Amino acid sequence: MPWVKTEDRARCHPKFFRAGCLSFGWWSAGLGYCNEHLTDGFIATRNLELVFPGMLPADREAAIESLVREGLVHVVSKGEHPDCHAPLCRRFRAREDGYLMHDFLVYQPSREHTENVRRVRSEVARKGGVESGKSRKQIASTTTKQNRSKPTNSLTRPDPT
């Protein structure tokens, strides 16, 4: 998915204001990471540094800690649900230790939805390619027939002038 959806005033929300700029940056990058990898809002602990490459580990830990404190990210342990009352967060069960972006699926498309859209687009493109091939073949066939019906004089020589 090439885009993430955020409210244009998210940066001014009191939770982000209290969390700080670096936390807002990590959270924004986290949305991108989750959409790119189709994780439905989950970030495994082992992949935390891939979310915002180059961020110092201490800064990353502080950012995540403040996001957790503000309820924007949930800590989840393997096999557990996040400690959140939001329906789409409660539905999630972690396959490994990590973090869940709060209400991710409320605003972002799910993995299932994205894969379905890609499948449909791929099929439409495939059908378009088949039809295009048929059209090109028909045009080539018509052009060949027209060229055959034109008399050719193989005895003519090019004009040297």
Q: What is the pLDDT of residues 142-154, one digit of tens each?
A: 766 666 666 656 6
HSE, CB side, 13 Å, CA atoms: give it for residue 55: 22
Most confident of 4-18, 46-60, 142-156: 46-60
Q: Which amino acid type is present at position 128?
A: G
pTM confidence score? 0.75
Which residues pair with residue 33 across a beta bridge?
Answer: none
pLDDT band at 97 (very low <50, low <70, confident <90, very high): very high
Q: Which helix (H) or strand (E) holds 100?
A: strand 98-101
Q: What are the helix (H) ranges across the chain?
A: 14-19, 21-37, 48-51, 57-69, 87-90, 104-107, 111-149
Residue pair 101/73 in contact (Cβ under 8 Å)? The answer is: yes
